[in-house]
Structures are given as structure tokens and as C-alpha cells.
Amino acid sequence: MSFETVLTKALDLRVPVVAGPLGRGSSAEFLGAMAHSGSFGFTAAAHMPEETVSRELAEISQAANGRFGINLSLVRDRRKWLAAALEAGVSVFSLWQGDVEPYVRVIKDAGGLVFWTIGTPEEAKRAKDIGVDFIVSQGEEAGGHYVGCAPTMSLLPAIVDAANGVPVVAAGGIADGRGLVAALALGACGVWMGTRFVASKESANHPGYKQRIVAARATDLVETELFDPVGQECPHRVIRNSTFSTWEAAGRPASGQRPGEGEQISRFPNGKPLYRYDTAAAWGAMEGDWEASPLYAGTTVGLIHDVKSVAEIVAEIEATAEAALGRIANFRVAR
């Protein structure tokens, strides 16, 4: 099935589907698979040490033939990551949290495209004036960290109405073609998915994490601010795990008094310790207690029944979208 929207035209896509950053799951192999499937993916700068950004981006660019974007979470200064990405030839950027305007100016001056993830219509009203190319409307069904103030079905049309013509991509609560068709009907030009692509064969997330997504139901999810540095708390949705359950059983104590705080559960690839309550999700090569790390997942877990290749997932999105459109075409309006 062929889709054509402002998103597919801007990124030269076959389908208006974007994979949000999956932490260390957004590997070169994964982003290459997204590019080859006719869709698009973002890598997360936050998981890249400053000294390895250039090398990691070069590997991704080779695998994806340059067809990928980089996500900058602006809860801290990311100017060095931005400079390294521009030097590496990255031209598509995703921004969220913090003060985005200075970053937008630099990216636009370099000829790049900017996606801005927001959660309120008030923010959407500013997007055109500050030069944003695409708004990502993130509903509160999203997995991982989210900024949405309402569910996707009510937030998305409100943001579309407030966007002053800036095209909007829908995020949160979408895992198949039915969600894509619903988002297009509400005024979006495409969709942004995370949880569905964590459970892909090519993502570099831990196999156990992928299986937890497949096995999970909505009742297994919790909303919390547990896995965030002090002072940078942001709501996030995770699958209940041993760290959360132990903290909950202890009466949900504040930071500094949480059970197991300061306990090392693994190490990052560069040798830096990974502690309980850190924000990093489990990656494929992670040793130690991977289950104790945050298992980010959205409310779409009930729609994910197996781990498939990116090509299979994208093909399934196309097939379910076509079927949904077929059902709609059969409706008749009584007069």
C-alpha cells in the first residue's frame, strides 16, 4: 500500500512511520533496518558518551546510508552532541524538554529538519515561530519518558488545531496500522512508535526485555518518576520489575532512602558502573541484573504478541492499515 504525506515527502519514506529513540536499542543494525524498510528511526544521543558520539554516528550512518535522525534530550547541555552530529552529516533532529530555541536556530542554519516532541497545545502554538518543521504530539500512553498532558485521541487533534500549519506526527498508544489510520484521520501526517520496535529482532535491547514486552499486559505497567536523576524527574511508564516492587513494598521512600540505592547492577560498555534506579534500559550485551533496570513500555503492550524483524513489523503496519481503510470504505452514512 502506498502512503504519501508531508512526512513521507520530507524524509523520502514509503510509509509514514518513525521509530523514536530506544536508548541503546537504537543500534546501527536497527536504524539500518528501519531505513531499508522505507521508514525512519532516531538514535538517542543521551546514551552516547561524549567521546564516542562521532564514532557511533559514523557506524549508524554507514548502516542506514545516512537515513536516520538523532534525538537530543535537553535536560542537560547537548551542544557538543549537536556539533558532533552536524559534523557527521546528520540533518534530521528530534528535540524535547528544556529550551529548544537555541538548538533549532543552529540546526536550521545548517539546513537541517527539526522534530519537536511536545505535550500541550500551548507549545504547539509556538512551533511555527521558532522554526520547527514537525511537531511530535506525545500522548500520555507512551512508554518511557513522556510529556503528554492527555491521551492521544484527545491531545492529537487539539495540537493539530493549535499548530498553525506545522505538520504533526502522532506518538503514544500506536503499534499497528489501525493506529496509523486513526492518527491520519485526526490530522497527523504520520506516527512515531517506540514499544513496538523495542520488540524487534534488530533492536539492541536485551532479549529478556523484549520478552517482557511480549508477555506484558496493560495491568503490568506503572507510571512513575522512579528512574530519573534527582532534579530531572519526568513521568515515565515501565513494566513493573523487581526494583519497582521492592521500592513500593518499602513504602515508596524518597531518593536517598530507597532500598538498594547505590547498588551496582551492571556496567556500561565503557566500564562506567550502572546503578539501581539509573535511567538506562537493558541492552543486549548487558551483564548482571538486567531485569532491575527500567523496562520502558507503553500501553500498546497488549497489541504486541511476538518479536519480529523490522521488515515484518512495517509490512504488518501496512497490512493492518489497508484492512482498516477497507472497513471504513464499507461504511455508509444514513441520510
* pLDDT tens sequence across 19-43: 999 999 999 999 999 999 999 999 9
> Are residues 162 and 44 part of one domain?
yes
Mean pLDDT of 74-84: 93
What domain count does the chain have? 2
> Are residues 86 and 211 part of one domain?
no
Write out pLDDT tens, residues 271-280: 899 999 999 9
pLDDT at 218: 94
Q: CB-hemisphere CA count at 13 Å for 274?
A: 23
> Are residues 211 and 192 part of one domain?
no
Is the residue at 1 inside a domain?
Answer: no
Write out pLDDT tens, residues 206-236: 999 999 999 999 999 999 999 977 666 788 9
Q: CATH code at 314? A: 3.20.20.70
> Are residues 149 and 92 part of one domain?
yes
Reply yes or no on whether the pLDDT at 334 is more than 80. Answer: no
Domain, as residue range, for 283 = 207-300
Question: What residue type is assigned to position 130 of the chain?
Answer: I
List of E strands, the chain = 17-19, 40-44, 69-73, 92-96, 113-118, 134-138, 144-145, 168-171, 190-193, 221-224, 236-239, 264-267, 273-275
Across all residues in the chain, what is the average pLDDT?
94
Contact 67, 40 (CB under 8 A): yes
> Are residues 199 and 112 part of one domain?
yes
Mean pLDDT of 145-154: 93
| Residue 6 φ then ψ, to 5° | -60, -30
Write out pLDDT tens, residues 291-330: 999 999 999 999 999 999 999 999 999 999 999 999 988 8
Is the residue at 160 inside a domain?
Answer: yes
> Are residues 240 and 287 part of one domain?
yes
Percent over 90 (pLDDT), the chain: 88
Look up the pTM and report it. 0.94
